[in-house]
Amino acid sequence: QKEVEQNSGPLSVPEGAIASLNCTYSDRGSQSFFWYRQYSGKSPELIMSIYSNGDKEDGRFTAQLNKASQYVSLLIRDSQPSDSATYLCAVLSGGYQKVTFGTGTKLQVIP
């Protein structure tokens, strides 16, 4: 079992719709959770971090964490073509700051 799992996609949504990206993780002791966006040919860019159960909103982005289910998600409201990218879920667990990345979900927003 992979430590951090994501559906590779592509996930296609029409412009203006809500995109829902999901991630599961295996280590129950995981402490911190991150979402990165990576455009083709570019480096990963941090867009959201979440540390406690519940929702965290930042503009059009909402991160949701459920530690009991070992599940973290990212919602993108009013999706725009510029949101088309690969979204990487990352989980911090253990000591010394080791972060494990999922393989990413490719999102395509159709105009």
Partner 1 sequence: DAGVIQSPRHEVTEMGQEVTLRCKPISGHNSLFWYRQTMMRGLELLIYFNNNVPIDDSGMPEDRFSAKMPNASFSTLKIQPSEPRDSAVYFCASSSQGYEQYFGPGTRLTVT
Question: Token pair 């911190």 is at which residue?
Answer: 32
| Among residues 50, 88, 91, 107, the one that binds partner 1 under rule CB under 8 A | 88
Radius of gyration, CA atoms only, the chain: 13
Contact flag: residue 103 with partner 1 (CB under 8 A): yes
- 87 scored as a contact of partner 1 (CB under 8 A): no
Taking the CA atoms of 10, 111, 73 and 34 in sequence, report the sign of the dihedral they define: positive
Task: Please pick, from the candidates 32, 61, 67, 75, the single residue that binds partner 1 as defined by CB under 8 A.
Answer: 32
Q: Is 34 in the site for partner 1 (CB under 8 A)?
A: yes
